[in-house]
A and B are shown apart, each in its own frame.
Chain A
Amino acid sequence: MSPPHIAGVGMTTFGNVPERTGRDLFAEAGSTAIEDAGIDREDVDALYVGNFMGELSENQGHMGPLMAKAIGLDVPATRVESACASGGMAVRQGVRDVRNGEADVVLVSGVERMHNMGTAGATGGLSVAADDLWEIRQGITFPGAYALMAQRYFEVHGGDREDLAHVAVKNHANAANNPLAQYQSEISVEKVLDAPPVAMPMGLFDSSPITDGAAAALLVSEEYAEENGLDTPVAITGTGQGTDNLALAERDSLVWTPATRDAGQEAYDDAGISVDDVDFLEVHDCFTIAEVLALEGLGFYEEGEGITAARDGETTADGSLPVNLSGGLKAKGHPVGATGVAQITEMTKLFRGDHVNSEAVEDASVGLTHNAGGTVASAVVHVLEVAE
């Protein structure tokens, strides 16, 4: 069983383009990935499309066949939904198809249209990733849910909003020169702390933005790459998935994410690596506190110790463990169903040397992506390695 190689990637500019349809965003990213790979599109065996709330944003379900034809494919095509982890789960389906020999070429993708819903509409749309009866009817929002986790974290482990602000400052700095990022601007700790409140202690700059966008990656078998003389320097060597209670209140701990731990452990075992082998990460920083919980759940920091990582410069671009060199969800943008795929496309470019921040990971050989749904009721982790 050889790991799938990444033959091509594509991603739209993430941003505020409410007039662009989901099918148009997808078509740009999907076509770019196929062109980047330089293969004949007739060779594609299957398509997976990650999408969370097409029904709510543009009255569109059943996106598999819609998107297949949007790029001229006539292949089995399936939409994958796991809230904000939809994209990562789409990647996981493609990885499994290639590994078990059912397919040689799979296009994995994600797309989300959000700005046409407005802020209230998008807040309401995103909220359906929570438990309708015991959370949504009580007024929960996703900024609100992560605010509940952050406030509890401060109580149990210490730390404060200023510590978290450094996460946002870092990720904005990483996105400053990324031409595909929604926010290509640096910000200060003061700006984060003084930003308008969303759900305190989460302010506007603790929160990832509403984003329109799509991303796609073409996965191929090692044999297909060799037979067709493709240059595929990056392979996906590990995959893992975790699940937890949907409602935050039903968890044993409000500041620990077992789904992330389980997904990480499975992916490490699958790739035959340990946490110490990982050189850099793209993690699900939908809110500043989420990056902290991800680093702890994945085993890079002990519980309660991840909150100082950005402040102390350990996870900055020049730190010992760069996190979210793409800008993360925070600054690159978070078109929810596309995010898990965009982590793969950005990391591939970081490895290949054609990303604006590639210099920061010149000698890297192992990277990890972490994509979460809801308050981490779903998590999916992938290990990417420089192919031998």
Chain B
Amino acid sequence: MSDEIQNDGYDQAIEAIGAGEPYALECPDGHHSMPPRRVCPECGESELEEVDIPTSGELLTYNVTHVPTPDFADDVPFVLGIAEFGGVRLTGRVQADEEEVDIGMPVELGLGESETTERPLITFDLA
């Protein structure tokens, strides 16, 4: 998909996740958010700094998706989750079968790709 239009901010953050060096944006008040951002979504502060976030996190919730959007037609069924890494929460693919997954589990942040479109997507491996 190299001919696809780029999304500044997002693409770089995704690449950093793939390189094992994920980062978020932090405002002077300590709020965290994911790029692209010109201002902090919590307080409107515009001095945003890239700060490292841990690759280890905790799974907060998950589902088992059986009916997908067309971009994930060949991926189902899959486990989708929300996990927290430092001060940031991300949505991503849990790389495990439903039976192995529990809320509160430690997960490792990484990058994989959709089996349908081969586009990059955020992954959570069981630690």
Q: Is the CB of B10 within 8 A of A127?
A: no
Known: A151-B103, A245-B41. A135 touches B91 (CB 8 A): yes
The one of B65, B104, B114, B122 in contact with A141, judged by C-beta atoms closer than 8 angstroms, is B65
Interface positions, chain B 24-66, Cβ under 8 Å from A, are 33-34, 41, 60-66
A121, A140, A147: residue with the most chain B Cβ atoms closer than 10 Å: A140
Q: Is the CB of B89 within 8 A of A250?
A: yes
A139 to B66, CA, bound (A): 11
Q: Is the CB of B67 within 8 A of A155?
A: no
* Chain B residues whose C-beta falls within 8 Å of the C-beta of A136 in the assembled complex: 69, 71
CB distance from B104 to the nearest CB of A (A): 8
Stretch with Cβ within 8 A of B (4 or more), from A31-39, A199-207, A366-374:
A199-207
Known: A200-B66, A249-B82. A138 touches B93 (CB 8 A): yes
Interface positions, chain A 114-143, Cβ under 8 Å from B, are 119-121, 123-124, 127, 133-141, 143
The one of A119, A135, A148, A201 in contact with B67, judged by C-beta atoms closer than 8 angstroms, is A119
Q: Is the CB of A152 within 8 A of B60?
A: yes
Q: Is the CB of B63 within 8 A of A249?
A: no
* Chain A residues whose C-beta falls within 8 Å of the C-beta of B92 in the assembled complex: 138
A170 to B64, CA, bound (A): 26
Grouping DSSP codes into helix (H, G, I), strand (E, B) and loop, the A interface class, with mixed when no group exceeds half, is helix
The one of B7, B60, B67, B90 in contact with A143, judged by C-beta atoms closer than 8 angstroms, is B67
* Chain A residues whose C-beta falls within 8 Å of the C-beta of B82 in the assembled complex: 148, 248-249, 254
A144, A147, A149, A200: residue with the most chain B Cβ atoms closer than 10 Å: A144
* Chain B residues whose C-beta falls within 8 Å of the C-beta of A141 in the assembled complex: 65, 67-69
B33 nearest CB neighbor, chain A only? A250
In the assembled complex, A197 has its CB within 8 A of some CB on chain B:
yes
Known: A137-B121, A249-B90. A254 touches B67 (CB 8 A): no
In the assembled complex, A198 has its CB within 8 A of some CB on chain B:
yes
* Chain B residues whose C-beta falls within 8 Å of the C-beta of A248 in the assembled complex: 82, 91
In the assembled complex, A325 has its CB within 8 A of some CB on chain B:
no
A153 nearest CB neighbor, chain B only? B61
CB distance from B87 to the nearest CB of A (A): 11
* Chain A residues whose C-beta falls within 8 Å of the C-beta of B119 in the assembled complex: 137
The one of B60, B65, B70, B121 in contact with A121, judged by C-beta atoms closer than 8 angstroms, is B70
B65, B71, B89, B121: residue with the most chain A Cβ atoms closer than 10 Å: B65
* Chain B residues whose C-beta falls within 8 Å of the C-beta of A144 in the assembled complex: 63, 65, 80
Q: Is the CB of B7 within 8 A of A133?
A: yes
In the assembled complex, A247 has its CB within 8 A of some CB on chain B:
yes
Q: Is the CB of B68 within 8 A of A123?
A: yes
Q: Is the CB of B66 within 8 A of A120?
A: no
Q: How large is the interface on A (under 10, 10 to 19, 20 to 34, 35 or more residues)?
A: 35 or more
Q: How large is the interface on B (under 10, 10 to 19, 20 to 34, 35 or more residues)?
A: 35 or more
A148 to B94, CA, bound (A): 13
A240 to B105, CA, bound (A): 39
A127 nearest CB neighbor, chain B only? B69
A115 to B49, CA, bound (A): 46
* Chain B residues whose C-beta falls within 8 Å of the C-beta of A119 in the assembled complex: 67
Q: Is the CB of A155 within 8 A of B103?
A: yes
The one of A120, A201, A202, A247 in contact with B68, judged by C-beta atoms closer than 8 angstroms, is A120
In the assembled complex, B125 has its CB within 8 A of some CB on chain A:
no
The one of B7, B67, B73, B91 in contact with A249, judged by C-beta atoms closer than 8 angstroms, is B91
The one of A120, A127, A138, A149 in contact with B122, judged by C-beta atoms closer than 8 angstroms, is A138
B66, B73, B92: residue with the most chain A Cβ atoms closer than 10 Å: B66
Q: Is the CB of A139 within 8 A of B67?
A: no
* Chain A residues whose C-beta falls within 8 Å of the C-beta of B73 in the assembled complex: 120
In the assembled complex, B75 has its CB within 8 A of some CB on chain A:
yes
In the assembled complex, B23 has its CB within 8 A of some CB on chain A:
no
B78 nearest CB neighbor, chain A only? A139
A139 to B64, CA, bound (A): 11
Q: Is the CB of B103 within 8 A of A134?
A: no
Chain A residues near B (Cβ < 8 Å): 119-121, 123-124, 127, 133-141, 143-144, 147-149, 151-152, 155, 196-202, 245, 247-250, 254
8 closest cross-chain pairs (CB), A and B:
A147-B63, A152-B61, A124-B69, A249-B89, A200-B64, A197-B66, A133-B10, A199-B65
26 contacts between A and B (CB under 8 A): A120-B67, A120-B69, A123-B70, A124-B71, A133-B10, A134-B10, A136-B69, A138-B93, A138-B121, A139-B93, A141-B65, A141-B67, A141-B69, A147-B63, A147-B65, A148-B80, A152-B60, A152-B61, A155-B61, A155-B103, A196-B66, A199-B66, A201-B63, A249-B82, A254-B60, A254-B82
A sample of 8 more A-B contacts (CB under 8 A), given A123-B70, A139-B68, A199-B64, is: A133-B10, A136-B69, A141-B67, A143-B65, A147-B63, A197-B66, A199-B66, A249-B89
